[in-house]
Structure 1
Amino acid sequence: MFGKWCVAIMVSGLMMAALGMQGVTAGEVARAQFTTGVTDREPVDAVTGVDADTRSVFFFTELRDLQGRHVVHRWEYDGEPMAVVGFDVGGPRWRVWSSKQMQPDWQGLWRVQVVTDDGEVLADEVLAFGDVDAPAVDDAEEIIVPETHFMRSGS
């Protein structure tokens, strides 16, 4: 009986080691959300949709165990690239946010993806701006966005 348990533990350990060697990211996104503001490095609310008279929208992310990495917020509007905001993660818990100044004629769906320096998408969130419904998360698709926009970061 003891021999079977030893073999099972050794096999489990080898499987976990093999997974770690395949590039599984140790870090994670603890929180990722759209908000109408950030105060004292915390989002003031969590929104999935805002009215067309909203002037600014923020995307807040709390990162865990990604210190030393570069992470970006990729903003997309109705399937079109709008901005990339980059952050250098400086600690084991790092809170960052980016924002977009909204225009009334930009009504539609907005998406922000949180992406690591090696291209791994860690989070993908959708916001309905104006008179539209937010789709299910399963409708997400990968985007590539070429420009940089406002950024703010800190622990």
Structure 2
Amino acid sequence: MLKLFTPLLIAVFSLCFVGSFASAAPTLDDANPGEAIFTAQSDTTPQSTAVDADAEADVETEAVPLPPEPMTSEDLDTAADMEPAEEQNIPILVSVSEMVIATNIVEREPVETGTLFSTDTPRLFCHSRIVSPEPTTITHVWYRDGERVAEVPLTIGASASWRTWSSKAMSPALPAPWRVEILAEDGTLLAQTDFSVE
């Protein structure tokens, strides 16, 4: 007797089991091949179990893209060659929000800024404001008449406005065009300014 009812029990169980998940299962829409349509179950229980192919559902549908294709053996070889995220050289996003040349720094602020200075000026300062999400090092590189004359590494803390400066004695104070560059830790040029001593 059990042998007679086993196929019937399996069929009934399958219909009940599949029917309870049918509303959450994706179906392919013939009008939009490659898109899966998910339908949400209605809060009301249907009065009839008959299926009408021409009937419209009272349930909203939303198009959801299909999941990506599974990886192939070629993809796995490529993935194995990739560096882990911790080992990749991801640059720190450092920027310069202000850069000026001044004759002095008072209470961490530049004094008498400009682009033209007298040969009587004994020392000039390059004052800069740095934006950095984490501690880093920048370098002020001073050039006189195109020749590198000084490099000043400066430690920067994590800040939206880190003030720092370097200075250069102007002796001998010969008239010349000057330039200061600010370089990131990796040598990337972040900013530069030109000025003259006359």
Same fold (TM over 0.5): yes
Q: Which amino acid aligns with 1:44?
A: V
1:127 aligns to 2:195 (yes or no): yes
Q: Which runs of 4+ in 1 moved over 3 A?
A: 21-25
- Alignment CA distance shift 1:71-1:125 (3 Å): same
- CA displacement, residues 7-53 of structure 1 (integer Å, 9 cap, x when unaligned): xxxxxxxxxxxxxx996762210100100111111101321010111
- Partner in structure 2 of residue 94 of structure 1: 162
1:83 aligns to 2:150 (yes or no): yes
- CA displacement, residues 34-84 of structure 1 (integer Å, 9 cap, x when unaligned): 001111111013210101111111100110125311100000100111000
- Partner in structure 1 of residue 121 of structure 2: 54
Q: Which amino acid aligns with 2:171?
A: Q
**Which range moves more in the overlay, 100-109 or 57-66?**
100-109
Task: Within 5 Å, give how 1:13-52 maps onto structure 2.
Answer: 26-52=93-119
Stretches of structure 1 lacking an aligned partner (at least 5 in a row): 1-20, 131-155
Q: Indicate the SS of the match to 2:194.
A: strand
- Give the TM-score, by structure 2 length: 0.52
- Distance in structure 1 (CA, Å) of the matches to 2:143 and 2:136: 23
1:63 aligns to 2:118 (yes or no): no
- Distance in structure 2 (CA, Å) of the matches to 1:95 and 1:75: 18
Whether contact under 8 Å (2:173, 2:197) holds in the other structure is no
- Alignment CA distance shift 1:37-1:126 (3 Å): same
- Partner in structure 2 of residue 74 of structure 1: 141
Q: Identity of paired residues, percent?
A: 30
- Partner in structure 2 of residue 114 of structure 1: 182
Larger relative contact order (C-alpha < 8 A, sep ≥ 6)?
1
- Distance in structure 2 (CA, Å) of the matches to 1:115 and 1:66: 16
Q: Which amino acid aligns with 1:74?
A: V
Stretches of structure 2 lacking an aligned partner (at least 5 in a row): 1-87
- Distance in structure 2 (CA, Å) of the matches to 1:67 and 1:38: 25
Find the structure with the greater CA-based Rg: 2
- Alignment CA distance shift 1:106-1:67 (3 Å): farther
